[in-house]
Amino acid sequence: MSILACPKCHEPLEIEGKTCKCINNHCYDIARQGYMNLLLNPDKASNNPGDSKESLIARKAYLDKGYYDPILFEVVNEIKKKEGPLNILDLGCGEGYYTYRMKQILGDENTYCGLDISKLAVRMATQYDKSIHWIVGNSKNIPVLDHSMDVITAMFTVVNQEELARCIKEDGYIIHVTANRDHLIEIKHLIYDEVKTKSDKYIRLPFNVLESHDFKKTISIKNREDALNLLKMTPHYYHIKKEKRDVLDTLEALDVTIDVKITVYRP
């Protein structure tokens, strides 16, 4: 049975060859790369929404080195607590590294979906594993059926609480990964005159908290290229003031802090 839903009428989508179609004859082509574009024009604010090409390429190069695998393992350990087979949706999947590695670790018995608003990101994701449902879509209009997901992961991405509540099963759960105060603090000190601490109350979700824990670890970036890729994949790169641009010329191997909060919710 399909878990995908038409973004226009929310009826089930069935895959027929290279096309997805619902009972109301809304049709969506499957790209030759293997992804589905289920992003409606009203659901995007520009012709090319999402992260820039430069940011995506940097993120893929950095994550492929395994630097953020400690965060991935924390998420996977939470998923392992739930018996399968599972329907797993990775929101804001970007270039697909986390989704792909989840499948590598957890196995083929589950159904995996990766959703991102960037067509370029999802096209890049198909290079990892074409058996995953790679979807171009908006987290404000997630193209899956009501209460069809056992697990929804959201790692450093914007979420919509109404859509999360609609998509998750009654006994399912949401794994939300957000940055804490000291996350990449060394990078922040390099590029900002003053490091400001923001309240996280606006990113906490109004659901039942099953578990919440902080994860902190120091990782060693091995060379200048990897350090630059880390910076480019974050919003900090695009906030560097003109007078601080010379920092990029001095960037080299360094130790940085991973500091995240992992919260498991049940709506």
The predicted pLDDT at position 2 comes to 80
The predicted pLDDT at position 241 comes to 85
Compute the distance between CA of residue 139 and CA of residue 222 in angstroms, rounded to an integer.
35
The predicted pLDDT at position 1 comes to 52
Q: What is the mean pLDDT of the chain?
A: 93
pLDDT in tens, the chain (267 residues): 589 999 999 999 998 888 999 999 999 989 999 999 999 988 877 777 888 999 999 999 999 999 999 999 999 999 999 998 999 999 999 999 999 999 999 999 999 999 999 999 999 999 999 999 999 999 999 999 999 999 999 999 989 999 999 999 999 999 999 999 999 999 999 888 888 877 776 688 999 999 999 999 999 999 999 999 999 999 888 888 888 888 888 888 899 999 999 999 998
Q: What share of the chain is helix, strand, coil (3-state, %, to 5)?
A: 30, 30, 40
All structural domains of the chain, each given as residue ranges with its CATH number in brackets, are 34-266 (3.40.50.150)
The predicted pLDDT at position 16 comes to 86
The predicted pLDDT at position 108 comes to 95
Instruction: Tell me if 30 sits within 8 A of 18, measured CB to CB.
Output: yes
Compute the distance between CA of residue 123 and CA of residue 136 in angstroms, rounded to an integer.
9
**pTM of the complete model:** 0.94
**Contacts of residue 122, Cβ cutoff 8 Å, sequence gap at least 6:** 35, 93, 96, 114, 116, 134, 135, 136
Instruction: Tell me if 114 sits within 8 A of 93, measured CB to CB.
Output: yes
